[in-house]
Amino acid sequence: MTISGGSWPAPRAGSPSEKAERAQLETKSSARGLEPQERLDWLRLSRSEGVGPITFYALLRRFGSAAAALDALPRLSRPAAAMSRRDAERELAAIERLDGHLVCWGEPLYPSALAAVEDAPPVLTVIGRVELTLAPMVAVVGARNASANGRRFARDLAAELGESGIVVVSGLARGIDAAAHLGALDKGSVAIVAGGVDIVYPEENRALHEALARDGAILAEMPLGTEPQARHFPRRNRIISGIALGIVVVEAAAKSGSLITARYALEQGREVFAVPGSPLDPRSRGANDLLRNGATLTETAGDILIQLGPLLQGRPPPPAIAPAQPRSPLGPRAAMPASGAVVSEDAALDLIIEKLSPTPVAVDELVRQCQLSAAAVATLLLELELAGRVERHPGNLVSLR
Amino acid sequence: MTISGGSWPAPRAGSPSEKAERAQLETKSSARGLEPQERLDWLRLSRSEGVGPITFYALLRRFGSAAAALDALPRLSRPAAAMSRRDAERELAAIERLDGHLVCWGEPLYPSALAAVEDAPPVLTVIGRVELTLAPMVAVVGARNASANGRRFARDLAAELGESGIVVVSGLARGIDAAAHLGALDKGSVAIVAGGVDIVYPEENRALHEALARDGAILAEMPLGTEPQARHFPRRNRIISGIALGIVVVEAAAKSGSLITARYALEQGREVFAVPGSPLDPRSRGANDLLRNGATLTETAGDILIQLGPLLQGRPPPPAIAPAQPRSPLGPRAAMPASGAVVSEDAALDLIIEKLSPTPVAVDELVRQCQLSAAAVATLLLELELAGRVERHPGNLVSLR
């Protein structure tokens, strides 16, 4: 079985027959997840050079399945280097040796809140109690050089959230992150790491890493064995906010990583909570700034539970139940025709390149200017993107590199 | 000269002739203040037993001048005990010996922001640099048992406000109040005390009291020699908020006096600023609660100056200039007829008593039910109030005692 284009419902699709088709496919997918062969293809495509999440989903829509997209890669303007089957098999085997899971978007074990994010990771590696990622989650994040009081507060807050059935997620960094994991560990805590789930970082958190791998869960977008690098952290932060219903910033200096996570949270429509602190402590600056900009002032777990109340009701956390209909990570883009009309004519490609410039332009505007179908433009842009000639920007904008 | 009823403009008065009359009287009053004899009468009436600020202004409107009101007191249902002329002369002489001032509502030296408050004190006693009370003011208040950090913050904040031309007002209590006065002393600070301006309280603030009497100003509603009592403090707090453009709460426990001041400030339409603090410190509870309810988060003097910006522009602080047209402390009550129609007929009085009960009722509703004129009802209520039979409540409500 292949995941057909139809399993990537365009959000606008609303006719009775489309709804029925979508429901049917979701039931099929959520009942058992991907076949082993499909899982391998998803892994290969997601790990292929130049294929980020947005491109991944675009390829899947364009070619109908990961296998078909892998077949097509060499024919595209500038072939993306696909991950070899052998490397993918090695990665899967390594995950299995850790008793871990490779979870693909849309599968029953894929966290439902994260599934709704436009650039959700197509595949996640999880070790530990993977079922924890299906419970309602709240992220507790903050400064690495946190004060003793800040760490104590984070630990107690996480413990209280845990007692209320919330799984506490954080980044397994020093300071607030570590304190939050510790506080929630016996109720359930999930670490989202920037490198591979098997890489301990920082070294001082080794014991906590081992405890989370056993009693909690550790989750990563990057392959096993990846040493975390500076550029990985912002991408990791989007998962911390995206997987949670809300994030709590405990202590954070101005311009700190926690504020990046808070910005992602706002973009993703998540609740942002901030713990006030004295203006005399620079570690309060970030959280106080968030409060000034409308974050919910947080002194106790009750402040969070009250605010999230409506979101916590009617959540289907038990592992056996499918995630609540996630919207497609493709967002409100034009639907690709199911037939996959072939439009890679040079003339059309030249026309699009002529209309593009280094200044980002809306895809809708491009469609209008080129007088091509939305589907044809989407396909051509995808090819140009894979060829490294087009760059995508937030808000469905594109520019020439 | 007597202050005629016309000098207490009803806020609704808007005809060209009324406006002209009001402007004429304000010019007369603000150019030189009250005559010595009038000042004595104001003092006597305001210090008469059972005559609070609201009643004071009602009497003034009803009888046209303090002297006429004093004459009428014995004829009222239950005569209020007027302050004797001799006692008033003694009080004035004592104030003079302290180089102090008795400032009456509407006089050039009466603080304009306070003048706009419904129950503004009819007379104020001020020692020190009385002209400081004409500058734009900000109140800085907080806990008596403040932390060292809180006191440091209050002192630095007050100094910064002082450097920006703001006079810092506070309550001369221990902790935050004392720190705020200290920080602003060399630029200008005003203490509003609950007892008489000559009473040092608490004893540990003796040096600060003396410094404020010399380099700043100390202001009180109560007569010289009054020892402050518990019931005086909330009334004092309404002056702290009423005299200022805004109040800053630095550290305040839940249910503390600073929160009472903040509530007055909201009722009076003042800006409320609060300094965030750690949830682990109970002294942060009050300020954090204010932030939760919409107070402006304050980390620096800049946060205050930005928010007050529009209020600070166009302020006429120099002592020679009259306060910007204060609205009558009578608020939006019905205007009393200038002729002062006599309506104290027993029938009307009985009718009103019949309609009243211990449950507060709106004066407007009473007017409708009694089918009397608003002016007549106001006069009758005033007599009943002076007789101790009627109690007034916020929102222009009255009840039977």
pLDDT tens, residue by residue, A218-235: 999 999 999 999 999 999
Per the CB < 8 A criterion, the answer to whether B261 and B275 are in contact is no
This complex has an ipTM of 0.71
- Contact status of A275 with chain B (Cβ, < 8 Å): yes
For residue A279, the distance in angstroms to the closest alpha carbon of chain B comes to 5
Task: Tell me which residue in A153, A285, A288 faces B279 most closely, judged by beta carbons.
Answer: A153
Task: Tell me which residue in B276, B278, B279 faces A291 most closely, judged by beta carbons.
Answer: B276
User: How are beta strands B246-249 and B137-141 bridged, if at all?
Assistant: parallel
Do B276 and A299 lie within an 8 Å CB cutoff?
Answer: no
Q: Pull the structure tokens for residue B221.
A: 């509603």
Per the CB < 8 A criterion, the answer to whether B243 and B217 are in contact is no
The model's pLDDT over B87-100, given as tens digits with 9 standing for 90+, comes to 999 999 999 999 99
Collapsed DSSP state (helix, strand, coil) of residue A297:
strand
What pLDDT does A339 receive? 33
For residue B293, the distance in angstroms to the closest alpha carbon of chain A comes to 10
Task: Tell me which residue in B153, B276, B300 faces A276 most closely, judged by beta carbons.
Answer: B276
- pTM, entire model: 0.75
The sheet with strand A137-141 has its strands ordered as A101-104, A123-128, A217-220, A189-193, A167-170, A137-141, A246-249, A271-274, A296-297
N-to-C CA span, chain B: 38
Do A288 and B278 lie within an 8 Å CB cutoff?
Answer: no
Q: Pull the structure tokens for residue A302.
A: 């009750």
Residues in A touching B284 (Cβ below 8 Å):
276
Identify from B149, B288, B299, B304 which residue to disrupt to test chain A contact, counting A C-beta atoms within 10 A and taking the largest count: B299
For residue A288, the distance in angstroms to the closest alpha carbon of chain B comes to 7
In Å, how far from its chain's centre is CA A164? 25
Within 8 A by CB and 6+ apart from B49, the residues are B80, B81, B82
Per the CB < 8 A criterion, the answer to whether B349 and B384 are in contact is yes
pLDDT at residue A321 above 80?
no
For residue B144, the distance in angstroms to the closest alpha carbon of chain A comes to 18
Task: Tell me which residue in A153, A277, A300 faces B277 most closely, judged by beta carbons.
Answer: A277
Residue A249: φ, ψ to 5°: -100, 115
Render the burial of B60-83: b for 16+ CB within 10 Å, e for the rest.
bbbbbbbbbbbebbeebbeebebb
Helix-helix angle B148-163:B176-184, to 10 degrees: 30
Per the CB < 8 A criterion, the answer to whether B216 and B190 are in contact is yes
pLDDT band at A377 (very low <50, low <70, confident <90, very high): confident
Collapsed DSSP state (helix, strand, coil) of residue A192:
strand
Q: Pull the structure tokens for residue B72.
A: 């009428």
d(CA B18, CA B24): 10
Q: Pull the structure tokens for residue A115.
A: 């599934």
Mean pLDDT of A8-28: 37
Taking one residue from A and the other from B, the number of pairs with CB-CB distance under 8 angstroms is 52
Residue (of B374, B401, B336) closest to B6 by Cα position: B336
- Contact status of B148 with chain A (Cβ, < 8 Å): no
- Contact status of A301 with chain B (Cβ, < 8 Å): no
What pLDDT does B114 receive? 97
Element (DSSP H or E) covering residue A247:
strand A246-249
Mean pLDDT of A309-323: 53
pLDDT at residue A192 above 50?
yes
- Contact status of A284 with chain B (Cβ, < 8 Å): yes
In Å, how far from its chain's centre is CA A160? 26
For residue B188, the distance in angstroms to the closest alpha carbon of chain A comes to 24
d(CA A43, CA B292): 47
- Contact status of B295 with chain A (Cβ, < 8 Å): no
For residue B203, the distance in angstroms to the closest alpha carbon of chain A comes to 30
The sheet with strand B137-141 has its strands ordered as B101-104, B123-128, B217-220, B189-193, B167-170, B137-141, B246-249, B271-274, B296-297
Do B276 and A277 lie within an 8 Å CB cutoff?
Answer: yes
Do A279 and B152 lie within an 8 Å CB cutoff?
Answer: no
The sheet with strand B390-393 has its strands ordered as B361-362, B397-400, B390-393
In Å, how far from its chain's centre is CA A291? 26
Residues of chain B with pLDDT under 50: 1-31, 316-344
For residue A318, the distance in angstroms to the closest alpha carbon of chain B comes to 34
Q: List C-alpha distances in Å: A283 to A146, A148, A176, A177, A286.
A: 7, 12, 11, 15, 7
Residue B183 burial by Cβ neighbours in a 10 Å radius (0-12, 13-18, 19+): buried
Per the CB < 8 A criterion, the answer to whether A121 and A240 are in contact is no
d(CA B307, CA B138): 12
Residues in B touching A152 (Cβ below 8 Å):
280
Task: Tell me which residue in B280, B288, B299 faces A297 most closely, judged by beta carbons.
Answer: B288
- Contact status of B290 with chain A (Cβ, < 8 Å): no
Q: What percent of chain B has pLDDT over 70?
A: 83
pLDDT at residue A243 above 60?
yes
CA of A285: which chain B residue's CA is closest?
A: B299
Residue with tokens 């989407």: A378
Do A291 and B299 lie within an 8 Å CB cutoff?
Answer: no
Q: Pull the structure tokens for residue B344.
A: 């104290």
Residues in B touching A299 (Cβ below 8 Å):
279, 285, 288
Per the CB < 8 A criterion, the answer to whether A110 and A103 are in contact is yes
In Å, how far from its chain's centre is CA A161? 23
Residue (of A233, A330, A248, A329) closest to A290 by Cα position: A248
- Contact status of A278 with chain B (Cβ, < 8 Å): yes
d(CA B22, CA A370): 72
User: What angle (nearest 5°) sits at the alpha carbon of residue B126, between those of residues B151 and B249?
Assistant: 25
Element (DSSP H or E) covering residue A339:
none
Residues in B touching A254 (Cβ below 8 Å):
none
- Contact status of B153 with chain A (Cβ, < 8 Å): yes
Residue A169: φ, ψ to 5°: -110, 145
- Contact status of A152 with chain B (Cβ, < 8 Å): yes
What pLDDT does A21 receive? 38
Specify the long-range contacts of residues A155-159, CB closer than 8 Å, at least 24 apart: A155/A179, A155/A180, A155/A182, A155/A183, A156/A183, A157/A183, A157/A248, A157/A250, A157/A275, A157/A298, A157/A300, A157/A301, A158/A182, A158/A183, A158/A184, A158/A189, A159/A183, A159/A184, A159/A187
CB atoms within 10 A of CB A361: 16
d(CA A270, CA A282): 26
Task: Tell me which residue in B149, B279, B285 faces A275 most closely, judged by beta carbons.
Answer: B279
Collapsed DSSP state (helix, strand, coil) of residue A128:
strand
d(CA B388, CA B401): 7
For residue B262, the distance in angstroms to the closest alpha carbon of chain A comes to 19
Do A279 and B298 lie within an 8 Å CB cutoff?
Answer: yes
Higher pLDDT pick, B6 / A57: A57
Mean pLDDT of A64-88: 87
Higher pLDDT pick, A164 / A338: A164
Identify from B297, B304, B307 which residue to disrupt to test chain A contact, counting A C-beta atoms within 10 A and taking the largest count: B297
Q: Pull the structure tokens for residue A399.
A: 């520019």
Taken in order A326, A331, A337, A340, the sign of the CA dihedral is negative
Per the CB < 8 A criterion, the answer to whether A317 and A177 are in contact is no
pLDDT at residue A15 above 70?
no
For residue B287, the distance in angstroms to the closest alpha carbon of chain A comes to 10
- Contact status of B314 with chain A (Cβ, < 8 Å): no
Within 8 A by CB and 6+ apart from B180, the residues are B140, B141, B142, B154, B155, B157, B158, B168, B170, B189, B250
What pLDDT does B222 receive? 97
